[in-house]
Structure 1
């Protein structure tokens, strides 16, 4: 799931994939409020999972976001 999330982040926010890892914080990849909204929309469109900007904002790392996405989609 982390790999899929990295692709979505790269496509949505434009951060190079090599700059994103499981311990990367949202601040390190410049996930501000607008980017979190865009990520939320992209997750729903690409993976069919509804995660709000607020939920994404409360997660400390990209790995934690990937875990939440995996939980919601039922995929690892």
Structure 2
């Protein structure tokens, strides 16, 4: 799941490969509130819904990945 989200961030939001470090926050990746809305819509294509508000609350990329994985586990 991490790699799928990483690919979305790199292709749709121009996040550089070197920005993906352990503990990276969404802010570290240069995502603003409008980006989070767009990202939440793109993540739905992976099969589960995570809102932009939930992403803000999660704060870090690894937490967003975990949230999405838990949603997929409950919907699958």
The bucket for the TM-score relative to the shorter chain is 0.7 to 0.9
Q: How does 1:27-46 map to 2 (within 5 A)?
A: 27-45=27-45
Q: How many aligned positions are there?
A: 73
TM-score by length of 2: 0.85
Aligned to 1:6: 6
- Which structure exhibits the higher relative contact order, with contacts defined as CA atoms closer than 8 Å and separated by 6 or more residues? 1
- Distance in 2, Cα, partners of 1:66 & 1:72: 10
3-state SS in 1 of match to 2:27: coil
Which aligned segments of 4 or more residues in structure 1 are displaced greater than 4 angstroms? Answer: none
Tell me, yes or no, if the aligned pair for 1:21 and 1:63 is still in contact at 8 Å: no
Q: Which runs of 5+ in 1 are unaligned?
A: none
1:64 is the counterpart of 2:32:
no
Q: Which runs of 5+ in 2 are unaligned?
A: none
The higher radius of gyration belongs to: 2
Aligned to 1:54: 53
